[in-house]
A and B are shown apart, each in its own frame.
Chain A
């Protein structure tokens, strides 16, 4: 069994490396590899070398690094615990272990026992865990709390990741067995959920009590490091967090001796988990097949450019967003189709409700915290902070929104043959395809603009920001928003049509350093094009506002500038659309594969 696994993994790895090295002969992969290689060198190695050459960091920096490491551990632990809790709260219909479809096809009918298959699964994940441990050491080598060697830090990470992996596998196997026997399945799950809730509540209550007693625990980076350590060491948190302290013990050990001492309970816990997993008699095959099919479908959807559906449930038929009579502009048919598609993927009811709840929760919970700060500083910070968040979100929507809202030509790439048989000029088809994401991104921007215009300087301390200027600015931005969104969407669609090979890298994950480089180049290209597109309009607007506000006032000057901006952006959009349509007419995906 072990021999077969090693053969499979090593041969696959070797062939993957050969394949990736061979494709470096193609310029697009070579350029991608060079760019990503330079990025990694300068970001991870060069900077680290510079830091080392500068000597021991200052205490404040050390403290900040300590906090960063603690947050990193929390960032690893919380999702893992949530994942395990989720497995108990909402297990799949058939819980199973994670195998690929090919592994299922070859190994399930092979003469192996269930126990062998479990070992195969565990050993498979060990390869990924070892690789991840090394990556974590490489990526976070700058943040060294203990000064331990890289090998010890890597082993520390290996213990953490292996324990979580075994625990999750054990949970899935146990759920699978309970589901199979049918005995007390719901009852045990409820008990487990109650235990998780109680455990989380115990942590929150203990931590809250400690923070109340030591209000300076979160006061600035210098005190926070020591404060967090004190918090973790306080009673009863010290005992509540015992399992996590055991798991993270080797990672946080001070020196080799402490490390080996910490390894004893950590390995003991790991061994207990292994015994639990390997001795659980569960019929996991059906669950594993369902899981593999779901993962394959998610992967296929990701390649098509779809986002994973929340909860992974099958899509349900929805009513059209508006009636679609056969008469009228055919472009509207694409808007109708793509809005329908968005409502099934990106904007499901659950996603919208969840997003609104998160925003409301954050807004409400932020207010009392900021009120304390406002009392101390004597000014209102709530409005400006909300305005700042809206501004940041709007900028992200403009720059990253077109990469997420792909319900346009990009999403219809698999149906390109069909689209090309439609009796429409290229530009009209492209226009129709771009309408839905433009509308959605514009709506988001409008909400941001409205909130921002109310929240910014809500106390009215900026003299020139009169209600007139506020309204004029908001209206001008609202008018420019759809055109700019449209332009931003033309860019990735044009990239897909003129460089489908490059575009493919942006709709997949992983794929090696060369694809990472391609994605970086595409991202930078998008930013550059956005800057070039916005430059003439911005310059014109600045000139008009600066020169005209003295004669006609700021508000009217903004309106005049907005009209000029609209004209420039509109012209650019028209040229871009025409060009995209022309390229679409000549687009031949089959020539890419030759």
Chain B
């Protein structure tokens, strides 16, 4: 579903992501982790087609992001850490707008279902300025899910959510994966990865330090010790510093 080969992103002389390769199959949830400045967000933004990659290839649902970006983007949804909404569109109008962009025929029922699922029905006719941060996040999710994407990218999905919101977000990610979506999420919260992710990719200075299933990575960095926490594994993998 997501195939990445030798992905590199440079900003002038600075290399943010260097030769990254991995694949995410339907039903898998890949967690991108790494210290600050490791290249997680740059990777996600390249995968979602937001910024052009410097070199490498990315295929989303069998479509090359370079050769056929429109087809690739039709299959994906990106959820940024900061909910960006249009100030003068109500919740319902956001969904109508997105439905037209993606050509979601008969979106009314789907929108109503999503609003109910995300507990936004009562807020359907209010502007984003009247929504709490958590509700804005939910609206972004509703907009992203409206066209039933096969590939989902989450950048720090739990930022700003209350405990109940966190629980629901985790459940939602797991449910989408079970329904066959391929998901990549970046987060600093290691407990989230432990609960949600099937695979993990540890980055440092834009390069892959370790990757595979959680069990694989644990084996790689546990040095034969039993019950090593993910936090300890992360520290060992990254050398315990940002640089």
Contacts and interface: CB of A to CB of B under 8 A. Distances in A.
Interface in B61-113: 69-74, 76-78, 80, 84-90, 93, 96-97, 99-107
A394 B45 CA distance: 43
Given A315-B127, A336-B97, A417 B11 contact: no
B51 interface: yes
Nearest to B70: A423
Interface string A573-594: 0000000000001101011001
Given A421-B50, A594-B12, A594-B14, A330 B80 contact: no
Interface string B1-33: 000000000011010000000000000000000
A332 interface: yes
Contacts of A416: 50
A340 B100 CA distance: 15
A176 to B, nearest CB: 26
Contact of B101 (A318, A325, A330): A330
Interface in A390-438: 412, 414-418, 420-425
Contact of B45 (A324, A326, A417): A417
A421 B97 contact: no
A588 B100 contact: no
B126 interface: yes
Contact of A327 (B48, B76, B105, B126): B105
Contacts of B96: 320, 324, 326
B49 interface: yes
Contacts of A423: 69-74, 101-102
A530 interface: no
User: Is the interface on chain A under 10, 10 to 19, 20 to 34, or 35 or more residues?
Assistant: 35 or more
A379 interface: no
A333 B84 contact: no
B52 interface: yes
B180 interface: no
B52 A421 contact: no
B103 A317 contact: no
A80 to B, nearest CB: 32
Given A324-B97, A326-B103, A315 B129 contact: yes
A420 B88 contact: no
Given A337-B89, A585-B52, A591-B11, A424 B100 contact: no
Given A330-B101, A340-B88, A314 B93 contact: no
A133 interface: no
A325 B89 contact: no
Contact of B86 (A318, A337, A417, A586): A337
Contacts of A425: 70
Interface residues of B, number: 43
Contacts of A412: 86
Nearest to A337: B97
B100 A330 contact: yes
**B45, B88, B90: which has the most chain A beta carbons within 10 Å?**
B88
B73 A422 contact: yes
Contact of B50 (A314, A324, A414, A417): A417
Interface in B40-56: 42, 45, 48-52
A473 interface: no
**A315, A318, A326, A332: which has the most chain B beta carbons within 10 Å?**
A326
Interface string A295-317: 00000000000100000001111
A328 B88 CA distance: 22
Contacts of A417: 45, 48, 50, 78, 80, 84
A341 B86 contact: yes
B179 interface: no
A317 B74 contact: no
A133 B72 CA distance: 60
Interface string A330-346: 10110011001101110
Given A327-B105, A344-B88, A417-B45, A594 B11 contact: yes
B73 A320 contact: no
A336 B74 CA distance: 21
Contacts of B69: 423, 585
Interface string A244-257: 00000000000000
B130 to A, nearest CB: 8
Interface in A101-149: none
B125 interface: yes
Contact of B100 (A315, A325, A414): A325
Contact of A326 (B42, B90, B107, B127): B107
B86 A326 contact: no
A333 B101 contact: yes
A591 B12 CA distance: 8
A318 B100 CA distance: 19
Nearest to B111: A326
Nearest to B94: A337
B150 to A, nearest CB: 13
Contacts of B85: 415
B126 A317 contact: yes
A341 B94 CA distance: 12
**B11, B14, B77: which has the most chain A beta carbons within 10 Å?**
B11
30 contacts: A314-B129, A315-B127, A315-B129, A317-B93, A318-B88, A320-B96, A324-B96, A324-B97, A326-B103, A326-B106, A328-B100, A333-B97, A336-B97, A341-B87, A344-B88, A417-B78, A417-B80, A417-B84, A418-B80, A420-B49, A421-B50, A421-B78, A422-B102, A423-B72, A423-B101, A588-B52, A590-B42, A590-B51, A591-B11, A591-B51
Closest 4 CB pairs of A and B: A333-B100, A344-B88, A423-B73, A423-B74
Given A326-B100, A344-B87, A588-B52, 4 more contacts: A315-B88, A343-B88, A415-B84, A594-B14
Interface of A: 306, 314-318, 320, 324-328, 330, 332-333, 336-337, 340-341, 343-345, 412, 414-418, 420-425, 585-586, 588, 590-591, 594
